[in-house]
Chains A and B, each alone.
Chain A
Amino acid sequence: ILNVEQSPQSLHVQEGDSTNFTCSFPSSNFYALHWYRWETAKSPEALFVMTLNGDEKKKGRISATLNTKEGYSYLYIKGSQPEDSATYLCASCNQAGTALIFGKGTTLSVSS
């Protein structure tokens, strides 16, 4: 059974700070790594789906990297804004069609 770990559990930064979170997952039989953003009272929303070792994806001020050999992914937020406040979930699966295994998430709070 996959075990996906995220750190830190929570994080508080000031507006304009850059920050990053870590997601670690078993590297054997890796298939895909997902990042989701979950704002309070809203639905989780996909940020990235990554499959290739060394992959780097970017959406605005948010980017993610993937290392499948060592089993980790980083999510970076450049110049954090209050609207970035949310819980960021990472999920991995080891085969298409198998369950996504989620971490507990990193909750980010950005103060203005």
Chain B
Amino acid sequence: EADIYQTPRYLVIGTGKKITLECSQTMGHDKMYWYQQDPGMELHLIHYSYGVNSTEKGDLSSESTVSRIRTEHFPLTLESARPSHTSQYLCASSDRLQGSTEAFFGQGTRLTVV
């Protein structure tokens, strides 16, 4: 069982609210990722980090931001939620470069913006 946790699992929130999706891992992995999955679609990488104070944007453009102040913690923030942000967000980590080794995933946060 992977030691990577996401909270909340489900979130329904009103338009314009600021939200933070939490992701923590206890495996000591340097590399962490956020993926977004719209219904019936593929997982797309929106952010990644290769260590503390490192953050990069992924292939899919996102209005969200991330931070990496501690190795184990990689939160994702939306300053002003909109219905277009309704999606599932998955956090993952790995101990080596992306692609070269398996990724460990959290259970996801299903976000609905009304």
Contacts and interface: CB of A to CB of B under 8 A. Distances in A.
Interface stretch (A19-27, A43-51, A69-77, A78-86): A43-51
A87 to B, nearest CB: 11
19 contacts: A1-B59, A4-B42, A34-B99, A34-B102, A41-B107, A43-B105, A43-B108, A45-B2, A49-B101, A91-B43, A95-B99, A97-B97, A97-B100, A99-B58, A100-B103, A101-B59, A102-B43, A104-B41, A104-B42
A93 B98 contact: yes
A71 B59 CA distance: 22
Contacts of A103: 42
A105 B88 CA distance: 15
Interface of B: 2, 4, 35, 40-45, 48, 58-59, 90, 96-108
Contacts of A43: 2, 4, 90, 104-108
Nearest to A32: B99
Nearest to A43: B105
Given A96-B100, A104-B42, 6 more contacts: A32-B100, A36-B105, A96-B97, A97-B98, A99-B59, A100-B98
B113 to A, nearest CB: 22
On chain A, which size bracket covers the interface?
20 to 34
Contacts of A34: 99, 102-103
A93 B45 CA distance: 12
Nearest to B44: A102
Query: Dominant SS at the B interface?
Result: loop
A89 interface: yes
A82 to B, nearest CB: 21
A98 B48 CA distance: 10
Nearest to B31: A97
Q: Which of B2, B102, B104, B107 has the most CB of A within 10 A?
A: B102
Contacts of B59: 1, 99, 101
What 3 A-B pairs are tightest by C-beta distance, nearest first? A93-B99, A46-B102, A99-B45
Nearest to B100: A96
B39 to A, nearest CB: 11
